[in-house]
Amino acid sequence: MSEPQKLIYKRVLLKMSGEALMGNGPKAIDTDTVVRIVNEVVQVHQLGVQVAIVIGGGNFFRGAQLSELGINRITGDHMGMLATLMNSLAMRDAFEQLDLPVRILSAIPMSGVVDLFSRRKAIHHLESGRVVIFAAGTGNPLVTTDSAASLRGIEVAADVILKATNVDGVYDHDPALNPKAKLYQKLSFDEALTKELKVMDLAAFCQCRDHNMPLSVFDIHKPGALLRVMQGLDEGTLVTVQ
């Protein structure tokens, strides 16, 4: 009989971009990619980890990009919030097809579709073994979903925010432009700020620093990466206060 896998986190907040759901295809949501990501989340959930998720909406709309097309920025951000809701519904459907209980809590009212966000309700669902998806950002325009992730992570007392990206951690230079770019295994918040390393939205990053919320940055497209992060193995970059 194999020994149970040891995990270093009990409650996590997984932050994904909307683009992560596209895979390598042209569609806003690639079903195979969603199923693969969901299966990896299910794997760690079945090991006893409480999982909350924040998904961006960039595969559909970004307020900043829409404003460049002449759409009012506030309106564009509201459209982006609805895009995160669509992504959340797609993720919920994929989880439910695997018989994993999940709840979507939205920062804006969407009666009859999803529930309104409540901190106590979110913690109750997590403690009851449900995956919780936070939708619609913070409910405010001009605020990124990175900031929604840092806020929700702090509110539900997550052990870490898992920043899922398209690269396998934080580099000293853009690895797409510099093949000799160095991958950091560990960083302090102050070091990342001093070196101007782009980890996440600056406001969200500083909020995590001020509330001592660790960040783990890893490649969401790398099979098994999420589990390896949960096991504390050499995967991605861990950003902490010290």
Give pLDDT tens digits for 190-211.
Answer: 999 999 998 999 999 999 999 9
What is the count of structural domains for the chain?
Answer: 1
Q: Which residues contact 74 (CB under 8 A, 6 or more apart)?
A: 63, 141, 142
Residue 4 domain flag = no
Count the neighbouring beta carbons within 10 Å of the beta carbon of residue 137: 29
> Which stretches does DSSP call E strand in the chain?
11-16, 50-55, 102-106, 115-116, 131-135, 160-165, 170-171, 183-184, 186-188, 215-219, 237-240
Residue 165 domain flag = yes
Give pLDDT tens digits for 121-131.
Answer: 999 999 999 99
Domain encompassing residue 94: 11-240
Pairing of strands 170-171, 183-184: antiparallel
Task: Indicate whether 61 pLDDT > 90.
Answer: no
Residue 1 domain flag = no
Q: What is the mean pLDDT of residues 84-90?
A: 97
pLDDT band at 1 (very low <50, low <70, confident <90, very high): very low
**Average model confidence (pLDDT) for the chain?**
94
On whether the CB atoms of residues 84 and 136 are closer than 8 A, the answer is: yes
Residue 175 domain flag = yes
Residue 6 domain flag = no
Residue 101 domain flag = yes
Task: Indicate whether 67 pLDDT > 90.
Answer: no
Give pLDDT tens digits for 75-84.
Answer: 999 999 999 9
Residue 186 domain flag = yes
Q: What is the mean pLDDT of residues 81-102?
A: 97
Give pLDDT tens digits for 140-174.
Answer: 999 999 999 999 999 999 999 999 998 999 999 98
Give pLDDT tens digits for 17-37.
Answer: 999 999 888 899 999 999 999
Kindly report the CATH number assigned to the domain that includes residue 179: 3.40.1160.10
What does the pLDDT read at residue 2? 47
Residue 89 domain flag = yes
